[in-house]
A and B are shown apart, each in its own frame.
Chain A
Amino acid sequence: MSPEAKIAELETRIRQLEQEKKDLEILLENTTAHADAITQQLAAKILQHERAERDLQMSESRLQHLLTTIEQEKADLELILETMTAHADTVTDQLQAEALTALRQSEVQFRTLVEANPVALLILHLETGQILYRNPAAIALLGITPDTLARTLRGRDFCHDPEDVNRLKQLYAVQGSVTNYELLVQRADGSTLWALLNWQPFVFQGQNTVLSALWDITERKKQEENLQRQIEELHQTIDQQKRDRQVQEITETEYFQHLQRRVQKLRRSSQRDSEK
């Protein structure tokens, strides 16, 4: 190869190498820039990830705290509920015991009052009329004996006139009570007496009942009848006296005297005629 040809070849080779160098520089520059961009992107991602992790940790901590608080509140509420339930049970027992004591006292007071009462008292079942309670005054008034006590007695057993039962029921249904009803009572031995009867609604041992009060008015009735008889006799006497007075007044009038004189004259005249 000639020296000129060799120089030309070398120059070509130099140009090629220079081109390759430029290419490599561009490549290096691109790669570096890309690497920088990737690194920056990665750094941003890492930062974002770290932030997210921190947030997550904080949220977890907050949630843990919230969970602890809620658990504590739940435990407190369960305890309050338990305390209140136990308390309510205790208080209910206490109230029930107090109510029972009060009820017993009230029953004792009721029995003391009605058993010492001279008025005959009966407690009748509202629907059946069965006598649920009678005080000693009622036993005496109605003549209830130990034999009759064993039977189931009803109010109607002591009404002489069965119609009174219907009348009383009707009055009670309309008025809600019955006051001063005069009833002819038939005692257990068949004898009768007059009684003034009152009916009032009454709750006895949790049942709707009728409190029936009877007051013996037989004596009063007899006195009334006597008085009535006396009044009638007086009326008759007064009527007789009135008639006598009216007759006297009539006979004293001039007209009557005149008529009487004329009658006498006529009688005398007719007498003379008959003698002739």
Chain B
Amino acid sequence: MNWWAQELSGVGYRIYGEPEPPRLVFEGSLRLNGMAEYQPLTDWLGQIVAAAPPQMILDVRSLKFLNSSGINVLSRFVIQVRQKGNIHLTVRCNEGIPWQHKSLVNLQRLLPTLELDFYHES
């Protein structure tokens, strides 16, 4: 199965892939309990790194809330992308969501080539 042809959803959140442009879209509020509950997402991100698309977009503009385990999963994904070395990663963010403005900037320290695109959306 292609990595984009998948979907994860639960109470208050939905994550789905799109092939053109290759992107992973996060919607809602991700409040899963601990790394064990994030394992399906971790596995999915691992598949993306293994597939190594030249460009990859994480679209979190509609992700209103992400807990600490969630940011941990994203941080580890960014490290894997850096180690892989041949994926250009872009994160589409929402200027209006406080955690995105503050926390996603830190990911650039893990991956200096990481591109952060901030959108003004309500």
- A interface residues (Cβ-Cβ under 8 A, vs B): 76, 79-80, 82-84, 86-88, 90-91, 93-94
**B109 on interface, CB distance cutoff 8 Å:** yes
Query: B102 contacts A80, CB within 8 Å?
Result: no
3 closest pairs, A vs B, by CB?
A83-B106, A87-B103, A87-B71
Q: Which residues of B contact A83 (CB under 8 A)?
A: 71, 75, 103, 106-107, 109-110
Would you mind naming 12 contact pairs between A and B with Cβ atoms under 8 Å apart? A79-B75, A79-B109, A80-B76, A83-B107, A83-B109, A84-B68, A88-B68, A90-B98, A90-B102, A91-B66, A91-B68, A91-B99
- B interface residues (Cβ-Cβ under 8 A, vs A): 65-68, 71-72, 75-76, 79, 98-99, 102-103, 106-107, 109-110
Complex CA gap A200/B106 in Å reads 50
Complex CA gap A93/B101 in Å reads 14
How far is the CB of A68 from the nearest CB of chain B, in Å?
13
How far is the CB of B91 from the nearest CB of chain A, in Å?
13
Q: Which residues of B contact A91 (CB under 8 A)?
A: 65-68, 99
Complex CA gap A83/B100 in Å reads 11
Q: Which residues of A contact B76 (CB under 8 A)?
A: 80
Query: A80 contacts B99, CB within 8 Å?
Result: no
Name B64's closest neighbour in chain A (CB-CB).
A94
Given contacts A76-B110, A79-B109, A83-B71, contact A90 B99 (CB under 8 A): yes
How far is the CB of A96 from the nearest CB of chain B, in Å?
12
Name A98's closest neighbour in chain B (CB-CB).
B65
How far is the CB of B60 from the nearest CB of chain A, in Å?
13
Given contacts A76-B79, A87-B68, A91-B67, contact A82 B106 (CB under 8 A): yes
Query: A80 contacts B98, CB within 8 Å?
Result: no
Cross-chain contact of B102 among A76, A79, A84, A87 (Cβ < 8 A): A87
